[in-house]
Structure 1
Amino acid sequence: MSAASPAADGGDTPPTLPDVPPGRRFEPDLRSMTRINLRPIASPMPLGFFTIAIGSVMTGCLQLGIFDQTARSAVAFTVLPAFALQLLVSFLAFGARDVIAATLMAVFAGSWLPYSLIMLSGAADGLQVLGVFNLALLCFGALMTAVTRPKRALWLVLAVSLPRWAATGLAGITGAEWLTRTSGALGLVVALVAMYTAFALMLEDMRSEQVLPIGRSGPAHLAVEGDLSVQLRNLERQAGVRRTL
């Protein structure tokens, strides 16, 4: 007994599939079937920069001799929460699809933790270890300045942090008092720049427009001034949507 074909029975002819390379399964266009959900959040960057400012003031005052050396533990306890705060900022920045800000804040968070623990524990050769650590941060910062230029606010904070990391690193290795004082003074400069940046970004997020000059350019400027189509450009190629990182 032979089975009749659908065409012979008067049924609809099944649609023909386009030519597909052997060994590959045909898949329809997934764009009409795909939904990517985005969730607006308040910008975490003001919190990150305010944290940098406060931590830099405390450590700078210790280096300048405003606090006595016996206050090391108190300063360490004061700075320790900066680790958790900036780690939170980094987590939120990753969720907001800003890899530069997230990476920068995560590394800043990682810098507060060893500083606090070494100061609290009084570990042997702790200052020398922190000196090498700060020189490693200097290398990181130098690389980051190459990619943060469109975001002048981040770039400026990094630019003033570089000489401080250099002075702190050399002071820890050599023990030179003048380098320690220089690092403390530079810490206050970092605090001023970070404080301004945090305030400017907070006003921008509150009013949905730039109030104080921040110096955005290129993609960073379009991200604030562009329409929705600009925000969603190349979304299918971004981490979390594409198949691999």
Structure 2
Amino acid sequence: MPASEPDPESEQSARVAPPAVRIGLRPIASSVPLGFAALAAATLLLSLLQLGWLAYGESSHVSMALITFAFPLQLLGCLFGFLARDTVVGTGMGILSGIWLATGVIKLTLPVGTVTSPTLGVLTLVAALALLVPVAGGAETGRLLSATVLLTAAVHFLFTVGYELTSAQVWATIAGLVGLVLFVVALYAALALLLEDVCQRAVLPVFRRSADGSSMQSDLRDQRGSLEREAGVREQL
């Protein structure tokens, strides 16, 4: 029996068919609890110093703690936030890690007897205003708890700016009190978001709008529904 001749149209369609695209999803744990825990620790130390509950001689130790503890942990949170395609977390943690490093280094290099720095005041002002960017992003995507933490951090920095620029103790006192509030809010957020991540449900209130709750409430098909439209993902290779 003679062999059947190949269909020219089938061969042409096979040649022009685009290659299949396979998207791999890498599981990455949330870095938000780690970043907020580091924020709570750094804020508590700085607030106690601003309120005078830690002696002035402890300033260098506080600076070293900001450099060796808060900065690397929040930098880690920043990197893994961007790896998880979370620009709110990555941006917020990056700004916080940078300002903690700058605060620690500048405080350590101040002349003896000097407690404030206008340069640090201006830099802290820029950081406070820059934090409003991830605050807006978090609020827009329904992540109200994270947005609240970052907004409180921005307010704390603003009062710290007043102290660094004027050296008036009243600004330091207000900043210290706001910092204690930030310590509580950040520690609560770290606990609530960690429990949510490990239990796959909200154990403590996280004040998340439903628009951002798909990662906990829907299946994988719903979560990756818009993945092909995200930055860095091409329709065809």
Same fold (TM over 0.5): yes
- In the alignment, what sits opposite 1:109? 97
Deviation at 1:10, TM superposition (A): 7.4
Say which one has the larger Rg.
Answer: 1
Q: CA RMSD in A?
A: 2.2
Any unmatched runs of 5+ in structure 2? none
8 Å CA contact 1:141–1:162 kept in 2: the answer is: yes
- In the alignment, what sits opposite 1:72? 59
Residue from 138, 141, 144 that aligns with 2:134: 144
Structure with bigger helix share is 2
- In the alignment, what sits opposite 1:3? none
**CA distance, structure 1, for counterparts of residue 116 and residue 7 of structure 2:** 80
**CA distance, structure 2, for counterparts of residue 92 and residue 145 of structure 1:** 19
Structure 1 moving runs of 4+ over 6 Å: none
- In the alignment, what sits opposite 2:208? 216
Deviation at 1:161, TM superposition (A): 1.8
Any unmatched runs of 5+ in structure 1? 1-8, 19-25
Task: Describe the superposition over 1:18-47 as per-residue Cα deviations: whole angstroms up to 9, x where unpaired.
Answer: 8xxxxxxx85244xx111111222222111
**CA distance, structure 2, for counterparts of residue 54 and residue 91 of structure 1:** 20
Residue from 9, 12, 28 that aligns with 2:6: 12
TM-score (norm 1): 0.85
Question: Secondary structure of 2:137's partner?
Answer: coil
Deviation at 1:79, TM superposition (A): 1.6
Residue from 89, 94, 106 that aligns with 2:82: 94
Counterpart code for 1:213: P
Task: Describe the superposition over 1:174-226 as per-residue Cα deviations: whole angstroms up to 9, x where unpaired.
Answer: 22110011111111111100000000111111211110000111432122212
Counterpart mapping for 1:199-210 below 5 A: 199-210=191-202
Paired residue total: 226
**CA distance, structure 2, for counterparts of residue 146 and residue 97 of structure 1:** 17
Distance 1:54 1:227, change over 3 A: same
**CA distance, structure 2, for counterparts of residue 231 and residue 54 of structure 1:** 34
8 Å CA contact 1:171–1:179 kept in 2: the answer is: yes
| Larger CA deviation: 118-127 vs 104-113 | 118-127
**CA distance, structure 2, for counterparts of residue 94 and residue 184 of structure 1:** 31
TM-score (norm 2): 0.87
